[in-house]
Amino acid sequence: MDFQQQQNMHQNIETGPVTPQMNHGGHEMFDVHEVLAGSINTMNTYTMLSQHVQDPELRDILDRQKAFMKQEYNTTLECFQTGQDPAVPTKSYKMKQGNDFTYGMKPGGQPKKPMESTAEINDETIALSMLNAVKSVAPIKTNAAMEATNPVVRRVLADSLPNCIEMAYEISLYQNKKGYYQVPQLVQQDMQQLQNGYAQASINSQMPGNSTH
């Protein structure tokens, strides 16, 4: 028996055969746990806010995003528990908002302060809470994808990140349109100086391995 056979036998004695269900590293287990818990918290937040929504447009965003989150949660959970491709693959979230932001700060308005009672809940606070909930999951998914050893879980987590970004973008566009979120800009000279502070990298057409000889 050679050294490699002895090593493999020792590994099997210590850990047993690695089934798809157990094809996860320790860091991955903890990080995916955080992803699933964070996803539940986001959906719970949407559920608690739902009864206070007044604007039909915001209601539509909330309902569409929550329905998408449920399926994405089920997909993530399934591949995490089985280690195999889920029955429903990760889909791409499609928002209804346009892409046009209104830039600039308008004078006036009341300073922000904490609410004193639930009677103060309005569409502005709901939209902000939705945005914060969606944004909070994105870095957790990123960390989990970077730690995942199971190839299916890694792909599902990586594919779900653009959906977090799209949902957050949709909410911020809604906030901006309603005047809840103002976007300041730098003066044109400063913007151009920053934009022009970098140059294109030179691309060598004769890259290693591309030789025609």
Q: What is the CATH number of domain 23-99+122-194?
A: 1.20.1260.10
DSSP state of 118: G
Residue spans of the domains in the chain: they are 23-99+122-194
Distance CA 30, CA 79 (A): 15
Angle at 93 between CA 88 and CA 95, to 5 degrees: 155
pLDDT digits (tens, 9 = 90+) for 145-155: 999 988 999 99
Radius of gyration of the chain measured on its C-alpha atoms: 24
Task: Name the stretches of the chain with pLDDT < 70.
Answer: 1-23, 207-213
Distance CA 131, CA 126 (A): 9
Percent of the chain that is helix, strand, coil (3-state, to 5): 60, 0, 35
Distance CA 144, CA 136 (A): 13
Helix crossing, 151-178 with 123-147: angle to 10°? 160
DSSP state of 104: B
Phi, psi of 171 (to 5 degrees): -65, -40
Three-state secondary structure call for residue 74:
helix
Residue showing tokens 């957050």 = 168
DSSP state of 87: S
Distance CA 165, CA 150 (A): 24
Distance CA 105, CA 108 (A): 9
Please give the model's pTM, rounded to 2 decimal places: 0.83
Question: Roughly how many angstroms between the first and final C-alpha of the chain, as a whole number?
Answer: 45
